[in-house]
Amino acid sequence: DGGITQSPKYLFRKEGQNVTLSCEQNLNHDAMYWYRQDPGQGLRLIYYSQIVNDFQKGDIAEGYSVSREKKESFPLTVTSAQKNPTAFYLCASKPGLAGIETQYFGPGTRLLVL
């Protein structure tokens, strides 16, 4: 998992509840990403951040929010506005802002709705 930790491993959400997924990296990477993984689909980008205190929407940002107050941390909040939150959530990071750089992934958090 290359220095990227995600917690919890499993998370249960009640209807109408906001939940926050943690992502921490000790790789000194500038860029961090959140992806959603659903069965039979490729990873889809939710949000990304290239620098502290800055983040941008990805392809499926609706119903999610993020913050980047520290370089090593990029938490994702799944809000009650996300109507289909059940999925496997993956956090990733890469060293900088260049194109030809490898993204490394955390172990993932599985979110389930009660």
Partner 1 sequence: GESVGLHLPTLSVQEGDNSIINCAYSNSASDYFIWYKQESGKGPQFIIDIRSNMDKRQGQRVTVLLNKTVKHLSLQIAATQPGDSAVYFCAENMGYTSGTYKYIFGTGTRLKVLA
Smallest CA-to-CA distance from 110 within 40, 10, 24 is with 10
**Distance (Å, rounded) from C-alpha 22 to C-alpha 20?**
6
Closer CB to partner 1, residue 80 or residue 105? 105
104 near partner 1, rule: CB under 8 A:
yes
99 binding partner 1? (CB under 8 A): yes
Q: How far apart are CA 112 and CA 9, in angstroms?
A: 11
Q: Does 48 bind partner 1 (CB under 8 A)?
A: yes
Residues near partner 1 (CB under 8 A)? 1-2, 4, 6, 31, 35, 37, 39-43, 45, 48, 50, 56, 88, 90, 97-108, 110
